[in-house]
């Protein structure tokens, strides 16, 4: 363990062995930091924050400060739970939940680049990447293996689906479907995330089914329920199709629209 002499650590904090804490960092009450964590200089960790193993926090990260929510009551007990092997680059900010026992959760093996903001009650899965200045409003869900481009803002209660990629400078006001490639202001669906799916070694036949499903869901001019029924009728089933269709069926904010007409989409995919 290497704790710089200028660091300020509450007696109520729990610091495991093998934790490095840099100059002028502050660790507040009821913060729990697990083995192998590295904290850079000028970082701040506040109450009821739990950090898993082998995470790394770069200069100026502010983790667990109270929610930026006018209705937040400071007498309420709220939480931030962070998993293992995450990287938080310079000046990342992460807030806990809001409302009694409200919780923000971040899974494992995520990269949050500089100036990323994760607001109250967000849920970030595993193996996600958020580029510089990615901004998530309250109650946002980012599913496993999603990528969010720089300077992208995600509206409260919106979801970014599994293995989706959102291009930089986008405004996400509706749910981004799993396996998709979206970008725009507001964000629109352009195609499946072919590069990401290939990197994940998805079989080509399953990718082909996803391409066909996207054409039906986003370019056939059908209402949601009819489009979902047509996909099931014409394409059968696969784990990816079922996940995609369940995501679409359970959307509360609606799904991002297609960027193309049916004719253009046919030509481009």
Which one from 64, 97, 138, 161 is the annotated catalytic residue? 138
- Distance (Å, whole) CA 15 – CA 1: 9
Which residue among the candidates 121, 139, 175, 196 is catalytic per the annotation?
Answer: 121
Q: Does 121 qualify as catalytic in the annotation?
A: yes
What's the confidence (pLDDT) of residue 115?
A: 98
Burial of 27 (0-12, 13-18, 19+ CB in 10 A): buried
Domains parsed from the chain with CATH numbers: 2-139 (2.160.10.10), 198-268 (1.20.1180.10)
- Asked about 69 being catalytic, the answer comes back as no
Tell me: the pLDDT tens digits for 90-115?
999 999 999 999 999 999 999 999 99
Residues facing residue 182 across a β-bridge: 166, 189
pLDDT in tens, the chain (269 residues): 799 999 999 999 999 999 999 999 999 999 999 999 999 999 999 989 999 999 999 999 999 999 999 999 999 999 999 999 999 999 999 999 999 999 999 999 999 999 999 999 999 999 999 999 999 999 999 999 999 999 999 999 999 999 999 999 999 999 999 999 999 999 999 999 999 999 999 999 999 999 999 999 999 989 999 999 999 999 998 999 999 999 999 999 999 999 975 444 333 33
Inter-residue contact 137 to 156 (CB < 8 Å): yes
Residues 122, 138: contact at Cβ < 8 Å?
A: yes
251-267 per-position pLDDT tens digit? 999 999 999 754 443 33
Report pLDDT digits (tens) over 165-176.
999 999 999 999
18-25 long-range Cβ contacts below 8 angstroms, 24+ apart: 22/59
Cβ atoms of 212 and 235 closer than 8 Å = yes
Please give the span between the terminal C-alpha atoms of the chain, in angstroms, as a whole number: 53
120 carries an active-site annotation: yes
Which residues lie closer than 8 Å to 254 by C-beta, 6 or more apart? 174, 175
Catalytic residue among 60, 64, 117, 120: 120
pLDDT at position 267 is: 35
């Amino acid at each position: 363990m290497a704790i710089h002499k200028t660091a300020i650590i509450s007696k109520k904090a729990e610091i495991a062995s093998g934790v490095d804490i840099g100059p002028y960092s502050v660790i507040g009450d009821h913060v729990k930091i697990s083995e192998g964590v590295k904290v850079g200089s000028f970082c701040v960790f506040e109450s009821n924050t739990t950090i898993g193993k082998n995470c790394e926090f770069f200069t100026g990260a502010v983790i667990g400060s109270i929610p930026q929510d006018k209705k937040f009551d400071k007498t309420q007990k709220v939480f931030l739970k962070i998993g293992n092997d995450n990287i938080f680059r310079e000046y990342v900010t992460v807030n806990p939940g809001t409302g009694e026992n409200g919780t923000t959760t971040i899974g494992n093996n995520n990269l949050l680049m500089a100036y990323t903001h994760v607001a109250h009650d967000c849920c970030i899965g595993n193996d996600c990447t958020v580029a510089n200045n990615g901004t998530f409003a309250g109650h946002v869900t980012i599913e496993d293996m999603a990528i969010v481009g720089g300077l992208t803002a995600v509206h409260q209660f919106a979801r970014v689906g599994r293995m989706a990629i959102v291009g930089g400078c986008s405004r996400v006001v509706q749910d981004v479907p799993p396996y998709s490639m979206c970008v725009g202001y507001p964000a629109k669906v352009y195609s499946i995330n072919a590069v990401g799916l290939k990197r994940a070694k998805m079989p080509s036949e399953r990718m082909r089914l996803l391409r066909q499903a996207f054409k039906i869901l986003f370019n056939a001019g059908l209402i949601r329920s009819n489009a979902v029924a047509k996909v099931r009728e014409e394409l059968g089933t696969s784990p990816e199709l079922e996940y995609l269709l369940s995501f679409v069926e359970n959307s509360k904010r609606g799904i991002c629209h297609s960027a193309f007409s049916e004719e253009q989409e046919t030509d481009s995919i």
